[in-house]
Structure 1
Amino acid sequence: MGRYLGQHFLKDEAVISHAVASILPQQNGILEVGPGGMALTEHLLKPTTPIILVERDEKLLPYIKERLKSHPHATLIYQNILDYDFLAAKNHFKGPFGLISNLPYLISTPFLEKIAPLSHLFTKVHLMLQKEVVDKVMAPSGKNGSKLSHLLRIQYNLEPGIAVSAKSFDPPPKVDSQFITLTPKESLLDSNKWEAFQTFLNLAFNHRKHTLHWFEKKYHYKAKHPAERKIEEMDTLELIESFLAT
């Protein structure tokens, strides 16, 4: 089976059982990104649960199609998930759905950026990522904080899951992994302000070591919080408040 897209196929049954338990049951359906060797998918193919599988590796398609022959409720889509329209899945399932993936490491960040403003489409998102990515996403502020963490916290509650050793994969990656669950919540920001806030956040993180006073003077933003605060010290809500104060 293919390996050129940065895939590391999960083989540890205990880890697979944990992943399945975290996402099931789902009333409307499940979308799995990158079914790969089908180790996780086999446990998700329940008779009453519609499922969409999005796979980019053309070499895996015959294998996956063969395994799906006895599962008419399963739909296989050959596409790069970064180009996929998640609204189409919501329409297919007739409502919000569960999203699960042992995500290829090469696309972790762009994938998370893609789903950040789309929480209304999901009931729950359960992902396996590089542990260092989970650490960055879970850091709300400080030197380890990231733009991605703030973007995700606007629409999701974030919960780290179990750590997974490299030995749980075939072939084993060079780093350990970790599960993370994203549970949709009421958005902290109106959807029509999303792009403008991203621009603000990009500017802010280009100067994360500077104070709000410096940032306000250079970019003509109004500081909502004490001017001596450094940008990297601010949490998501404080950044949103400063953005909305302009």
Structure 2
Amino acid sequence: MNDLVRPSRVSELLRAYGLNPSKGLGQNFLVDRHALEKIVGAADVHDEDVCLEIGPGLGTLTRELAERARTVLAIEKDKKLTPVLAETLADYANIELQFSDALEVDYRKLLEPYSPPFKVVANLPYYVTTPLIMQLLETGIKWGKMVFLVQREVAERMTARPGTEACGSLSLAVQYYAQVKTIAVIPPNAFFPPPKVSSAVVLLEGRDKPGQHFGLVNEKLFFALIRAAFGQRRKTLLNALSAGLDVPKADIQRALAGCGIPESLRGETLGIESFVKIANQLT
């Protein structure tokens, strides 16, 4: 039984090592067995898997992954947790612990010594959620599954459909690379200390060669279009793209006409397929 899901055990550990959860590092340690099972169940970890974990904290999720996976590669930024993790992970020989900033890790190099399947399973600090998820998706590594525990608002943005208030550049970028769905909503009292907002478990299943999947010719232009369209949401699509792209307005007008997309629409109403069409017209 994983005793780290008990708040009393977490409190005891922190006192023993003279530590306090760091607000700056977004440390809210998971202390709920049900939530832990939701995360591990969504990842569907098997003994051939190599699991990447970002922010192991006290090792609660790390232990569960190590019980099931071939290898767990855990990236922790807070070196003050070194003695705690030495204690909580002492019984597991299949954990490789690295103290680094997850945003500065070369994940291709990290995984070179290992063979797939690769999975990412992480309770992400809120402050790095968006840049880190995009970094992992953009590596080109074929992740089997990616399971993240994130702020509920971020989960809603990641899964949002076109035309909804939550839909933005993050929605389309994530959905370009992966199929996304919310597995469970996790209340604040599942953490120690409890955050002010609810969280959610999100499952991403990566697309194999997303550019080919969507028939996209120029990926760089596609993402530039999305950034421009959502960078000025109040403007019409034509005006937003004209302001955000180094492309003549007349060329954008011709591209929209070629796609049968009205100039007066707003970017937030368009899905991935529409932006792919515009990008291909401009290429």
TM-score using structure 1 length: 0.91
- Whether 1:29 and 2:29 are equivalent positions in the alignment is no
* Percent identity between the two aligned chains: 23
- The aligned residue for residue 4 of structure 2 is none
- The aligned residue for residue 229 of structure 2 is 204
Q: Indicate which of 230, 244, 260 corresponds to 1:225.
A: 260
Residues 23 and 126 in structure 1, CA contact (< 8 A), matched pair in contact too: yes
- The aligned residue for residue 21 of structure 2 is 3
Structure 1 distance, partners of 2:68, 2:150, is 28
Structure 1 distance, partners of 2:232, 2:280, is 19
Structure 1 distance, partners of 2:147, 2:194, is 21
Q: Indicate which of 173, 183, 187 corresponds to 1:151.
A: 173
Aligned-partner SS, 1:141: coil
Q: Indicate which of 273, 277, 281 corresponds to 1:237.
A: 273
Residues 189 and 240 in structure 1, CA contact (< 8 A), matched pair in contact too: no
Amino acid of the residue matched to residue 211 of structure 1? T
- Whether 1:167 and 2:189 are equivalent positions in the alignment is yes
Question: Residues 57, 180 of structure 1: CA spacing in aligned structure 2 closer, same or farther, 3 A cutoff?
Answer: same
CA deviation vs aligned residue, 1:131-170 (integer Å, no higher than 9, x gap): 0111111112223211111111111000111100000000
Return the offset for 1:72: 2.2
Amino acid of the residue matched to residue 30 of structure 2? L
Structure 2 distance, partners of 1:69, 1:216, is 55
Amino acid of the residue matched to residue 268 of structure 2? E
Indicate the RMSD between aligned Cα atoms, in angstroms: 2.2
Return the offset for 1:216: 5.9
Return the offset for 1:177: 0.3
Structure 2 distance, partners of 1:119, 1:177, is 27
Return the offset for 1:180: 0.4
- Whether 1:134 and 2:155 are equivalent positions in the alignment is yes
Question: Residues 50, 212 of structure 1: CA spacing in aligned structure 2 closer, same or farther, 3 A cutoff?
Answer: same
Structure 1 distance, partners of 2:167, 2:106, is 29
Structure 2 distance, partners of 1:113, 1:170, is 27
- Structure 2 gap ranges (5+): 1-18
Return the offset for 1:206: 1.9
- The aligned residue for residue 57 of structure 1 is 78
- Whether 1:99 and 2:120 are equivalent positions in the alignment is yes
> Which has the larger displacement, 109-118 or 158-167?
109-118
Question: Residues 14, 196 of structure 1: CA spacing in aligned structure 2 closer, same or farther, 3 A cutoff?
Answer: same
Question: Residues 48, 176 of structure 1: CA spacing in aligned structure 2 closer, same or farther, 3 A cutoff?
Answer: closer
TM-score using structure 2 length: 0.80
> Which structure: greater helix fraction?
2
Structure 2 distance, partners of 1:48, 1:101, is 14
Question: Residues 175, 48 of structure 1: CA spacing in aligned structure 2 closer, same or farther, 3 A cutoff?
Answer: closer
Structure 1 distance, partners of 2:233, 2:145, is 31
CA deviation vs aligned residue, 1:64-115 (integer Å, no higher than 9, x gap): 1233333222100000111112213432321241101110011111112212
User: Within 5 Å, which residues of 2 pair with 1:64-79?
Assistant: 64-79=85-100
Return the offset for 1:244: 1.7
Residues 160 and 180 in structure 1, CA contact (< 8 A), matched pair in contact too: yes
| Structure with max Cα Rg | 2
- The aligned residue for residue 194 of structure 1 is 219
